[in-house]
Amino acid sequence: MDDILVLDYDDTILPTTYLKEQFSVEELFDDSPPPEMLDNLQDNIIKVLDSLRHFRICILTNSGNRWIPLTCSKMLPRVWEWITEKNIPIYEAKVRYESYYTDPTTWKQYTLRDAMVNISRVGRIFSFGDSEHDMKAVQNMAEEIGCDYRLFPFPVHSSKEELVRHWEFVHTHLREEVL
Ligand SMILES: [Mg+2]
């Protein structure tokens, strides 16, 4: 029985909205040194991911064009190291399905279904994300296959500090109620 953690990226792992307000997009992935150290955020993300290392973890995003490898390796290098060391797959839902459907929930739901095709028995699916479609896609998939799910909605367009606090909150919540 496999438990699955589905992670959104923008405004969930990376404080994308905040960073785009502070810096040019190029500064978020060019070769120059990172414009800001996000050490507390990296610490908290890694703490949570470590506590869920027995889950099958995947990143499910509507971004494309190597946005995640480029920005994560630059802005959150220790998180990127964790992701690559653990071979965490990155699924680009919009890239896969936008020619066929218009709804972002459908892109993520169908991509998640593709990602789970080789998993015979699913225990629980957890969803971390800041968008309604992050929650709805996991809920729809879980109901489709009849497994449990837990939704962890993140604040929308959160500041860097809010995101740091929210990962800390998730860590506490997981320890107390889930694991
Ligand atoms: Mg997002």
Taking the centre of ligand 1 as the mean of its atom positions, its distance from the CA of residue 72, in whole angstroms, is: 14
The domain total for the chain is 1
Taking the centre of ligand 1 as the mean of its atom positions, its distance from the CA of residue 120, in whole angstroms, is: 28
Strand partners, 137: none
Taking the centre of ligand 1 as the mean of its atom positions, its distance from the CA of residue 62, in whole angstroms, is: 8
Residue at token pair 């709805």: 136
Asked if residue 122 lies in contact with residue 1, where contact means CB atoms within 8 angstroms, the answer is yes
pLDDT tens string 2-50: 999 999 999 999 999 999 999 999 999 998 989 888 999 999 999 999 9
Q: Return the pLDDT at 91.
A: 97
Average pLDDT over residues 49-68: 95
Taking the centre of ligand 1 as the mean of its atom positions, its distance from the CA of residue 176, in whole angstroms, is: 25
Alpha carbon 172 to chain centroid, angstroms: 18
Alpha carbon 45 to chain centroid, angstroms: 10
Question: Residue 179: pLDDT above 80?
Answer: no
CATH of the domain at 8: 3.40.50.1000
Give just the sign of the alpha carbon dihedral 154, 156, 157, 161.
negative
Question: Residue 177: pLDDT above 80?
Answer: no
Q: Return the pLDDT at 100.
A: 97
Taking the centre of ligand 1 as the mean of its atom positions, its distance from the CA of residue 11, in whole angstroms, is: 5
Taking the centre of ligand 1 as the mean of its atom positions, its distance from the CA of residue 54, in whole angstroms, is: 24
Looking from the CA of 172 toward its CB, the CA atoms found within 13 Å total: 6
Q: Return the pLDDT at 65.
A: 87
Taking the centre of ligand 1 as the mean of its atom positions, its distance from the CA of residue 138, in whole angstroms, is: 14
Taking the centre of ligand 1 as the mean of its atom positions, its distance from the CA of residue 14, in whole angstroms, is: 9
3-state secondary structure 97-131: HCCCCCCHHHHHHHHHHHHCCCCCCEEEEEEEECC
Closest among 130, 150, 168 to 12, alpha carbons compared: 130
pLDDT tens string 98-134: 999 999 999 999 999 999 998 889 999 999 999 999 9
Q: Return the pLDDT at 178.
A: 62
- The Cα 156–Cα 162 span in angstroms is 10
Strand partners, 4: 56, 125
Residue at token pair 């800041």: 130
pLDDT tens string 69-92: 999 999 999 999 999 999 999 999
Q: Return the pLDDT at 104.
A: 96
What is the value of pTM for the model shown? 0.95
Taking the centre of ligand 1 as the mean of its atom positions, its distance from the CA of residue 129, in whole angstroms, is: 6
- The Cα 140–Cα 97 span in angstroms is 17
Taking the centre of ligand 1 as the mean of its atom positions, its distance from the CA of residue 157, in whole angstroms, is: 8
- Structural domain containing residue 126: 2-178
Taking the centre of ligand 1 as the mean of its atom positions, its distance from the CA of residue 1, in whole angstroms, is: 28
